[in-house]
Amino acid sequence: MQEIIIGKTYKHYKGNMYKIIAFARHSETGEDMIVYQSLKNKDVWVRPKSMWNEEINENTLRFTLVENK
């Protein structure tokens, strides 16, 4: 499982690029969340941490760390 690092850039399996800006916790469930921002249009998103490294299909992760960014 790849490490999730604040400030690093990740590529979504559909091709878009995102930068992790924070870790958060859901106020009702206590679930760990990832706060990330689109590099294309600056929209900010939140996703459960448990989904970040999820395998979409064989050998394809939902997000992949982009080196040198």
Element (H, E) at 52: helix 49-52
Measured over all CA atoms, what is the biggest interatomic distance in the chain, rounded to whole angstroms?
36
Specify the CATH number of the domain 9-65. Answer: 2.30.30.320
Which residues touch 1 (CB under 8 Å, ≥6 apart)? Answer: 53
Classify 39 as helix, strand or coil.
Answer: coil
Q: How far is Cα 68 from Cα 21, in angstroms, rounded to an integer?
A: 17
Domain parsing of the chain, residue ranges:
9-65
pLDDT tens-place values along the chain, 69 residues long: 788 999 999 999 999 999 999 999 999 999 999 999 999 999 999 999 999 999 998 889 999 999 865
